[in-house]
Amino acid sequence: MLIRGGSALVVKEFINESLLGNKGICKVNKVWLGLAVFSFLNANEGSPPLPSDLLGIILAVTCWSLTGFWINDLADEQVDALAGRKPSSICLFARYRAIALIGIVALIGIGCVLMYSGSSGAILSYTLALAIGYAYSIEPVRFKDREKWGLWAFTLCVVLACVLFPWFWIRSSCISLILILSMVFCDEWIKIYGHEVQDYQDDFSSLSKTHVVALGLERAQKTLRIQAHIAFAVLCSGLFLVGYIGGRSTFPAIVLTWLGALASAIYGGLARSQNPPYISLVRSLPLSYLGLSYATSRILPVLLLVQMTWKSWYYSPILLWACLLIAIETWNWNKLAQPRSQAEC
C-alpha cells in the first residue's frame, strides 16, 4: 500500500505541504542572499552569471532542503506524536516509499551538481551539506540531540549549501564570500537557537538533549537575546559593506532594505502587542533583529535581482520564482506568528 491511510487526500496534502507549506520548497529562500549578491557583484564587474547556472543552483539547493526536512520529519515522528503535533505528510507514506522518494530527490540534486557545476569545490560543499544535514537528524550521530553540536551542525549545513556551494559554482570575490558567510552564519545560528527555545517544552518532555534543554530555558533566553544583538550588528555591518562594495548602483536597494527592516520591525511589534504571551520567535528575539534579518535575507535579494532583470530580462524567471517563494514563506510566517493550540504546534 502506497500510503498508510490509503487515501488520495494524503497525496494531495503531501503536494500542498511541499509546495505551499512552511517546510516545503520555500525553504530554498535561504540561498537568495548569497546568490543575489554574488550575481550582482559579478554583473557589475562585467561577468554576469548565466541564468542557467542560477537555475541549477536553485534546483540543487531545493533538493537539499526538501530531503533534509523530510528526513528530519521521519526521524522525529515518534517525538512529534508524543508532543501532540500533527504528523508531517511524508510520515504518512509507507516507510520504504518515503525513503525511496528522498533518495530520488537527493540524486536529482547530486546529478545536477555533477553534470553542470563544473567545480570540485561546489561538488564537495554540496556533498558535505547533504551529509551533515542528514546526520543532524539520523542516528547514531543525530547532532540535534547532542546539545550545542546541533546548533553548529545546522548552521554549518546551511552555510555550506547556501553560501559556499553557490560561490564555488558562479565564483565571486573573496570579500563577498566572507561578507555573506558571516551574515548567513549569524542569522541561521539565531534562528535555529530560537527554534530550540520555542520547542523547549516539547523537547524537555520527550527527553531530547538539545542545547536549550541542557542549558535551561531562562538562561537560554538571555543568551539568545545577547547573541541576537550581536547578529544584528553583523547584519548592519554586512548591509553597509554590500553597499560599499557594490558602489552607487546598490544605493537604492540598500535604502529600500533599511525601510523594509523598519516596516518589518513595526509589524512584528504590532503582532507582539496583540497576542497573549507565549514562547515564539516573535517574543524571544529583539524586533530590531527580526526586522533586519527579514530585510537582508528576503528584501535585499529581490531588489538586487530586480536591478539585474532591468538590465537583462533573461533573469526574469529567477526574479519571479524568488518573489513567489518569499511570498509563500512570508504568508506562512504570518500564520505561525499567531497564537495556536498545542495540538497545532
Q: Are 258 and 247 in contact (CB under 8 A)?
A: no
Distance CA 56, CA 35 (A): 12
Decide which of 281 and 229 is more confident.
Answer: 229
Look at residue 343 and tell me if it is in a domain: no
Averaged pLDDT, 1-5: 45
> In the structure grid, which three cell numbers stand for residue 64, read together?
537539499
Predicted local distance difference test score (pLDDT) of residue 278: 45
Residues near 233 by Cβ (< 8 Å), separated by ≥ 6?
Answer: none
Q: Are 200 and 220 in contact (CB under 8 A)?
A: yes
Going by C-alpha positions, the residue among 41, 55, 316 that lies closest to residue 169 is: 55
Number of domains in the chain: 1
**Straight-line distance from the first to the last Cα atom of the chain, in angstroms, rounded to the nearest whole number:** 29
pTM for the predicted model, two decimal places = 0.90
Averaged pLDDT, 202-206: 77
Predicted local distance difference test score (pLDDT) of residue 188: 95
Predicted local distance difference test score (pLDDT) of residue 279: 44
Look at residue 345 and tell me if it is in a domain: no
Look at residue 146 and tell me if it is in a domain: yes
Look at residue 251 and tell me if it is in a domain: yes
In 10 A of CB 260, how many CB atoms? 20
Quick: pLDDT tens for 133-169: 999 999 899 998 888 999 999 999 999 999 999 999 9
Place of cell 533573469: 315
Averaged pLDDT, 226-239: 96
Distance CA 189, CA 158 (A): 10
Quick: pLDDT tens for 21-62: 877 899 899 999 999 999 999 999 989 999 999 999 999 999
Look at residue 33 and tell me if it is in a domain: yes
Averaged pLDDT, 61-78: 92
Distance CA 150, CA 152 (A): 5
User: Domain limits at 148?
Assistant: 8-338
Q: What is the mean pLDDT of the chain?
A: 88
Look at residue 158 and tell me if it is in a domain: yes
Look at residue 42 and tell me if it is in a domain: yes
In 10 A of CB 83, how many CB atoms? 18
Q: What is the CATH number of the domain that holds 249?
A: 1.10.600
In this prediction, residue 293 has a pLDDT band, given cuts at 50, 70 and 90, of very high
> In the structure grid, which three cell numbers stand for residue 310, read together?
532591468
Q: Are 213 and 200 in contact (CB under 8 A)?
A: yes
Q: Are 163 and 128 in contact (CB under 8 A)?
A: no
In this prediction, residue 345 has a pLDDT band, given cuts at 50, 70 and 90, of very low
| DSSP, res 247 | G
Q: Are 54 and 112 in contact (CB under 8 A)?
A: no
Res 305 pLDDT > 90:
yes
Res 325 pLDDT > 50:
yes
Look at residue 89 and tell me if it is in a domain: yes
